[in-house]
Amino acid sequence: MSTKIKDATIPHIPTSARISRWIGRNLIRIYAVFAFTYLFIPVAYTFAFSFNDSGKSNLIWKGFTLDNWQNPCGAPEVCTALVNSIKIGFLATFFSTILGTMIAFAIGRYSFKGRSTSNLMIFLPMATPEIVLGASLLSLFLVFKINPGFWPTVIAHVVFCVSFVVVTVKARIASLDPRLEQAAMDLYANERETFRRVTLPLVAPGIAAAALLAFSLSFDDYIITNFNSGTLKTFPEFVYASAARGIPAQANVIGSAMFFLALAIVITGQIVGRKRKVSA
């Protein structure tokens, strides 16, 4: 800046107006801060109490310790439950992602008789309360003399995850530019090659997001699992069962660890996605 503007007038806004304008502009941002705080209160609480030197009952703060983190499987059944949740989660994710992706392609790419009925079929499980899904499946299993347990739980999870997978993948398919596939065919790729080299790679992020969603829904599920797991306990079931007498701090450890792990995965995904767009 070479010369200062000498005689120009600076617009004068009275302080009271300045304050009220600042508030008006930032009111919603202030609200957001409060809202986020509210969202994180129980998470922070869970995390804090994971360090509680509590013994079996983690209700009152007794003292700080790292023991729980060093020995996360210390409480009985905690790690069994966790492993069950993870196993069921992977299987449910695997099957629901495959089935759901196929359905998403069918509905999203083809116009055929029964397309709107198919859409309805997908919407129904999402519109049914979990308790109805869980209870009805239990009834069916009992009729066929199948005992609740591991595989019935996997099946139950797939039922309610499929619809979410379909919706997620369908959204991704819809955003695909059809001209990219035309360009591929124009460049000597037949239908199969076009799908393999252009369509699938471009839909893949949607499929990955759907799989992640399915896993989270499955891992965190309680109601449907409660009806169909029998004697097997998943992590949420473990927490519920021990809620009365006091949840061991190890559960807090696992909960917090899952939180940080998931956060790390999501943030990494974001950074990787952003790197692809910025010039190398």
Partner 1 sequence: MRKIRTPYLLLLPGFAFLFTFFILPIMNLAQTSTQTPVGGGDTGQYEQTLRFSNYIDAFVENREQFGRSFVYATIATLLALAIAYPLAYAIALKGGKLKNFMLILVIAPFFTSFLLRTVAWKQILGEEGFVVPTLRTFGIISDSTTLTSTSFAVVMGMTYNFLPFMTLPLYASIDRIDPRTLEASGDLYANGFTTFRRVTLPLSMPGVVAGTLLTFIPAAGDYVNAAILGSPNTKMIGNVIESRYLKIVDYPTAAALSFTLMVVILILVTFYIRKAGTEELV
Partner 2 sequence: MTKESISAKGDLRLTRLTKSYGDFTAVDDLSLIIPEGSFFALLGPSGCGKTTTLRMIAGLEEPTVGSIHLGSTDITTTKPYQRPINTVFQNYALFPHLTIFENIAFGLRRRGIKDVDAAVSKVLDLVELPHLAQRKPTQLSGGQQQRIALARAIVNRPALLLLDEPLGALDLKLRRQMQIELKWIQKEVGLTFVHVTHDQEEAMTMADTIAVMNEGQIEQMGSPADLYDNPKTAFVANFLGQSNLIKGTISGNDGDSHIVDLFGQKISLPKNRSHANDQFIYAGIRPEKFRISRLGTPTSGNILTGGHIEDVSYIGVSTQYQVEMPWGQELMVFEQNDDGVAPFSKDEEVNISWEPVFTFGLRGDEDATAGSEVNPEELDEE
**If binding is defined by CB under 8 A, does position 174 make contact with partner 2?**
no
Pick from 86, 146, 202, 212 the residue near partner 2 by CB under 8 A.
202
Q: What is the nearest approach in angstroms of partner 2 to the Cβ of residue 180?
A: 5
**If binding is defined by CB under 8 A, does position 111 make contact with partner 2?**
no
Q: What number of other Cβ atoms are within 10 A of residue 86's Cβ?
A: 16
Q: Which residues from 217-276 bind partner 2, rule CB under 8 A?
A: 276
The whole-angstrom separation of Cα 138 and Cα 152 is 8
Q: What is the nearest approach in angstroms of partner 2 to the Cβ of residue 190?
A: 5
Residue 185, contacted partner among partner 1, partner 2, none, CB below 5-8 A by kind: partner 2
The whole-angstrom separation of Cα 71 and Cα 85 is 19
Q: What is the nearest approach in angstroms of partner 1 to the Cβ of residue 264?
A: 10
Backbone dihedral angles phi then psi of residue 233, each to the nearest 5 degrees: -120, 130
Residue 112, contacted partner among partner 2, partner 1, none, CB below 5-8 A by kind: partner 1
Q: What number of other Cβ atoms are within 10 A of residue 179's Cβ?
A: 9
Residues found in the chain: 280
Which residues have a Cβ under 8 Å from the Cβ of 183 and sit 6 or more positions away? none
Q: What is the nearest approach in angstroms of partner 2 to the Cβ of residue 181?
A: 9
**If binding is defined by CB under 8 A, does position 201 make contact with partner 2?**
yes
Backbone dihedral angles phi then psi of residue 15, each to the nearest 5 degrees: -55, -40
Q: Whose Cβ is closer to partner 2: residue 70's or residue 111's?
A: 111
DSSP line for 135-171:
HHHHHHHHHTTPPSSHHHHHHHHHHHHHHHHHHHHHH
The whole-angstrom separation of Cα 176 and Cα 202 is 8
Pick from 23, 185, 263, 267 the residue near partner 2 by CB under 8 A.
185
Q: What number of other Cβ atoms are within 10 A of residue 68's Cβ?
A: 24
Q: Whose Cβ is closer to partner 2: residue 7's or residue 186's?
A: 186
The whole-angstrom separation of Cα 78 and Cα 207 is 31
Pick from 198, 210, 211, 217 the residue near partner 2 by CB under 8 A.
198
Q: Applying CB under 8 A, what is the total number of residues that bind partner 2? A: 22
Q: Which residues contribute to the site for partner 2 (CB under 8 A)?
A: 177, 179-180, 182-190, 193, 197-198, 201-202, 276-280
